[in-house]
Structure 1
């Protein structure tokens, strides 16, 4: 209090100070929310675009197969042959109900709260499982290839089917190889020794070694 008898309020007791503070906080809050919205929008757009793409692909599949409905897992044929010369399909030994449950649980785990992707994954995995059941395992090599694929990709029938098809195709290519001389025969034997039961890598190593040999001869 001054000598003139009047009481002077401090600046933070003035009404204009609080009005200015309220306006400043409001501007900061609005700006912050705007930045968060702008950062979130691209992520939301990407997620929506992915879901729309999957939905379009599924719709196109439905048009190509108008009579196709949700496929239930078929039970493998009961009984096994006692003939030791008949090779077995390890997938046919699996319990179909357990496979169905594991496929659905994995889809939920892989795509939580994304029902479009869950449905898509279940359909793809179920289709691969059915394809594997229909395989004609008529040789020891095919049996070994399928067993390895099942062990490499447990509960992932899409990858099991893919690996099996790739390995069988590579095996047939390897069997068709005709080394031109003793050197090429040694290259093939070395590849088989380095990659037992992996026919993709046998084929790849053999071809790469021959390329290197050709380049070396030209040099």
Structure 2
């Protein structure tokens, strides 16, 4: 009986080794195409990045003002308003902000003068912003007339390894802002109100306030 059990145990061990070998073989065959694909993808991304950089060589983003504005969406992050120049000539502007976490760049608005549209200037601006900050770009409330631009920009920047996230609607800004709400500094009067409401005297203060309101 013991010999029989040992025989079966040996068979199971061999079978287990065979299954393991098969699994290892499957993993190796699954990984090989990926390993081959990575250099190919990197090659095409580098080529597209070079192409975009060459096209953007005559475009400059010139910061005109940059500050943290309380009440703005990215506060205490920085809002930036910058002119767009082509060969030294101002052809438009871009208004954008980076949240205080530093992980998203939000495009509030980009405007290119009519005579310079459809020449790749807007795409070059997106590429320069990505190349400078290396974080996903997020358009806020795309206009219907700009849908075509954003569609092409997403495709062409993605080919270079850059990312443009889906648009963020104005109704979603407050929810998105919750990620850095804890970084917004509290104003003195807000702190006083918070401390008052947390004090043992608050029920009496509130009752007196409500009584005066009822008069």
Q: Do they superpose with TM above 0.5?
A: no
> Greater helix percent: which structure?
1
Q: What is the TM-score normalised by the length of structure 1?
A: 0.31
Bigger RCO of structures 1 and 2 (CA < 8 A, at least 6 apart): 2
Determine which structure has the larger strand proportion and give its number: 2
